[in-house]
Structure 1
Amino acid sequence: MTQPQGSLEGKVALITGASSGIGAAAARVFAREGARVVLVARREARLKELSAELRAGGAQASYSAGDVQDSGDVEQAVAHAVETYGRLDVAFNNAGAGGELGPLHLLEDATYDLVMDTNVRGVWNCLRHQIRAMTHGGSIVNTSSVAGLVASSVPAPYIAAKHAVIGLTKAAAVECAADGIRVNAIAPGLTRSEMVEDWLARVPGQEARSKASAPQNRMAAPEEVAEAAAWLCSDRSSFVTGATLPVDGGRTAW
């Protein structure tokens, strides 16, 4: 009997925010599913370590350190993927920033700028360069959040940014459909990551309240969210574009 192929077998995938959390989990999941992965984040040492781990496990993996706020860094990462592996088939735009906690009227401009420039301009930069490189079609998944669907306890700039990610996703999906490029978003709920852990540590009792806000009453492992992104990136979701998939333990069902 032949072994079944992975859902991303033979595809070249670029993953941003790959140094930790959902992005690092996606690197492992995508590689397991057969993709050749290019990892992008600001922390080069972590990218080097993770790509070495993936290669030791038999995957093809490389990295391009950079900040998605910088269009030139994104262009360089996309060029690296094409030059190294010959094409770009898949992109998971996961890099994000949470910013400071507090009511919007007390937040400084610097917080708003960081959150919007990373979460919105970052996706904008990624989409432009990735779409240009996907000359044979492809699939792009952007990380939004349940905060992109409903208001929650997170700061207002983050909620605004994640709503904007969904808007960019829909616009790109419509524009690119004729070129064979699908564009979707995921909306993770409470997920164990550096950003979430930092938020919870600063607000006593918030973890229990956040867990109780969803029917499953727990926090997701990053791998659970990465699995949803891998499905949307694969040909198994071939008739899905312009959609936002909640991965939230039922949070937005209530």
Structure 2
Amino acid sequence: MMTATAAARQMFKYKCHGSMCFIASMSGTVYNSSKAAVIQLARNLAMEWSPIRKDGTGGIRVNCISPGHILTPMVLKNFEEVPGLREKWEAENMMGRLAETTEFKGAALFLLSNASSFMTGNNLVIDGGHTSW
């Protein structure tokens, strides 16, 4: 929130229209309140900052990416500490595998570019499909 607000202040000051992309988690759509808060924050800020005002300020689109399970150093450490966790998560995923960090570049570029110029306040869920929901 603080980073987004600081960036928005400068964008408003210089009447710079643009886009922000927050990272939440697919768990925010199901059970995780802190990730749900990130998703809702993006929606709220989109509503406040997206309209272009008469003075030329605004025009800041705010969207969110909610990935599923990603192979990060922290997740790999969890796999070392919790036997069978990797297999469980892979089995619950329709693709039978977990995501690599590089698989989210395209989504981020889309949300930050003019390709999504009429998109704000949205949450893009990128997940291999959960079989347990």
Q: Which category describes the TM-score, using the shorter chain as reference length?
A: 0.7 to 0.9
TM-score (norm. length: structure 1): 0.46
Quote the offset at 1:234 in angstroms.
Answer: 0.8
Are positions 1:196 and 2:66 aligned together? no
Alignment correspondent of 1:130: 7
In structure 2, the residue corresponding to 1:220 is in which secondary structure? coil
Q: 2:121 aligns with which of 233, 237, 242?
A: 242
Deviations 1:82-101 (CA, angstroms, capped at 9, x unpaired): xxxxxxxxxxxxxxxxxxxx
Distance 1:174 1:221, change over 3 A: same
Alignment correspondent of 1:148: 28
Distance 1:212 1:196, change over 3 A: same
CA distance in 1, matches of 2:130, 2:16: 37
Are positions 1:177 and 2:50 aligned together? yes
Alignment correspondent of 2:103: 224
Deviations 1:35-92 (CA, angstroms, capped at 9, x unpaired): xxxxxxxxxxxxxxxxxxxxxxxxxxxxxxxxxxxxxxxxxxxxxxxxxxxxxxxxxx
Quote the offset at 1:252 in angstroms.
Answer: 8.2
Alignment correspondent of 1:166: 39
Q: Is the 8 A contact 2:94 2:130 kept in 1?
A: yes
Alignment correspondent of 1:209: 88
CA distance in 2, matches of 1:203, 1:253: 20
Quote the offset at 1:253 in angstroms.
Answer: 9.6
Q: How does 1:73-88 map to 2 (within 5 A)?
A: none
Deviations 1:79-126 (CA, angstroms, capped at 9, x unpaired): xxxxxxxxxxxxxxxxxxxxxxxxxxxxxxxxxxxxxxxxxxxxx111
In structure 2, the residue corresponding to 1:245 is in which secondary structure? strand
CA distance in 2, matches of 1:201, 1:214: 20
Q: Is the 8 A contact 1:146 1:252 kept in 2?
A: no
In structure 2, the residue corresponding to 1:251 is in which secondary structure? coil
Alignment correspondent of 2:66: 187
Deviations 1:107-160 (CA, angstroms, capped at 9, x unpaired): xxxxxxxxxxxxxxxxx1111111112231110000000111113xxxxxxx22
TM-score (norm. length: structure 2): 0.86
Q: Is the 8 A contact 2:92 2:132 kept in 1?
A: no
Quote the offset at 1:232 in angstroms.
Answer: 0.6
Q: Is the 8 A contact 2:92 2:131 kept in 1?
A: no
Amino acid aligned to 2:39: I
CA distance in 1, matches of 2:27, 2:99: 16
Structure 2 alignment gaps of length 5 or more: 52-57
Distance 1:224 1:160, change over 3 A: same
- Identity of paired residues, percent? 37
